[in-house]
């Protein structure tokens, strides 16, 4: 009987099953799980369904000996691989980006909560409070492991120390830079008036404004933490990994930003930081920082 033959074959497979096979199946299962999780809620889901349908048609054409259809699938397979790479380009890029974050290259060899960094947080929160009170829209992105040089290149370079007054002047309604985003690296304003990527259709299910959409897009394309001040309501929000935390007060904002944004100043030396264009400062600057820390400890 077919059922009995299946049981016998299954028992035979289990009998020859070793640790290598178990690990092999576990790795494949984990990879498939994360692939499906990556595709969930994107246009890649519909493309994947279409590919499954094509695969079924190809198998049926071989089973029923449909010569013309089998020839078409056989000769079109190499081009189909290229088409898959092109169609899944956003998902593949996001997957490789997330894989890169797992490596130690994305982490600095040393990261410190310096007085300069604490001051930068205080200045940002002070600016957010004032902008919120006046219902002036703002979009501030804090760079972390993934470099934001590509987005900084779309704006105007500042490379200046962050302060509440500078942030207010940038987002002043008549300012030529007020419509773009400010990118912050450590305690420096890297650039202003920057263009951020918008998320793909289907990823954002709630109705949000342009600033929030841009912040969501950047948080999905990188590990940046983005602060948004709504121009309509004055509400302060923080967006990270596609998730929005709304209506934050100054204390909640400080806790959120201080905990989630790692300090990356002159002493944070890492390979990925160098590749992202981060400057670790000259030897004289590093010596000056060390002396300043020793003076505070004493």
Is residue 110 included in any domain, yes or no?
A: no
Is residue 232 included in any domain, yes or no?
A: yes
The Cα 179–Cα 154 span in angstroms is: 13
The Cα 296–Cα 2 span in angstroms is: 80
**Same domain (yes/no): 168, 21:** no
Number of compact structural domains in the chain: 2
Which of 105, 140, 157 finishes a domain? 105
DSSP character string of 112-173: ---HHHHHHHHHHHHHHHHHHHTT--EEEEE--SS--HHHHTTSEEEEEE--HHHHHHHSST
What is the band of 101 on the pLDDT scale with cuts at 50, 70, 90? low
| pLDDT tens track for 243-253 | 888 888 878 88
What is the band of 228 on the pLDDT scale with cuts at 50, 70, 90? very high
The per-residue pLDDT for 281 is 41
Mean pLDDT (whole number) for 185-206: 81
Provide the whole-model pTM: 0.59
The per-residue pLDDT for 240 is 87
Q: Which domain holds residue 282?
A: 115-297
- Nearest CA-CA partner of 211 in 233, 199, 228: 228
Do the beta carbons of residue 181 and residue 194 sit within 8 Å? yes
- Nearest CA-CA partner of 206 in 249, 235, 248, 242: 242
**Same domain (yes/no): 92, 182:** no
**Same domain (yes/no): 34, 169:** no
Strands 138-142, 181-185: pairing is parallel
Q: Cα 212–216–222 angle (5° rounding)?
A: 140
Residue in the structure block whose two tokens are 């790692």: 262
- Nearest CA-CA partner of 266 in 137, 110, 141, 88: 110
């Amino acid at each position: 009987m077919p059922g009995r033959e299946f049981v016998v074959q299954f028992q035979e497979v289990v009998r020859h099953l070793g640790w290598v096979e178990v690990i092999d199946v576990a790795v494949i299962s984990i990879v498939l799980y994360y692939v499906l999780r990556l595709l969930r809620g994107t246009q890649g889901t519909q493309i994947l369904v279409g590919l499954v349908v094509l695969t079924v048609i190809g198998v049926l054409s071989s089973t029923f000996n449909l010569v013309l259809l089998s020839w078409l699938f056989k000769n079109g397979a190499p081009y189909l691989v290229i088409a898959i790479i092109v169609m899944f380009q956003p998902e593949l890029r996001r997957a490789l980006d997330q894989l890169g974050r797992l490596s130690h290259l994305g982490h600095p060899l040393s990261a410190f909560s310096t007085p300069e960094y604490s001051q930068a947080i205080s200045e940002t929160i002070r600016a957010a409070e004032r902008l919120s009170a006046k219902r002036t829209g703002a979009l501030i992105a804090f760079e972390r492991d993934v470099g934001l040089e590509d987005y900084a290149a779309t704006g105007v370079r500042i490379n200046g120390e962050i302060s509440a007054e500078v942030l207010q002047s940038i987002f002043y309604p008549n300012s030529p830079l007020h419509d773009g985003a400010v990118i912050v690296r450590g305690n420096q304003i890297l650039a202003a008036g920057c263009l951020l990527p918008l998320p793909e259709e289907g990823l954002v299910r709630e109705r949000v404004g342009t600033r929030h959409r841009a912040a969501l897009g950047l948080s999905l394309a990188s590990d940046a933490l983005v602060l948004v001040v709504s121009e309509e309501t004055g509400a302060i929000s923080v967006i990270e990994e596609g998730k929005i935390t709304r209506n934050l007060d100054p204390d909640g904002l400080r806790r959120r930003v201080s905990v989630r944004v790692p300090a990356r100043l002159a002493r944070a030396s890492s390979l990925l930081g160098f590749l992202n264009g981060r400057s670790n400062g000259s030897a004289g600057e590093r010596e000056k920082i060390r002396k300043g820390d020793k003076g505070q400890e004493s």
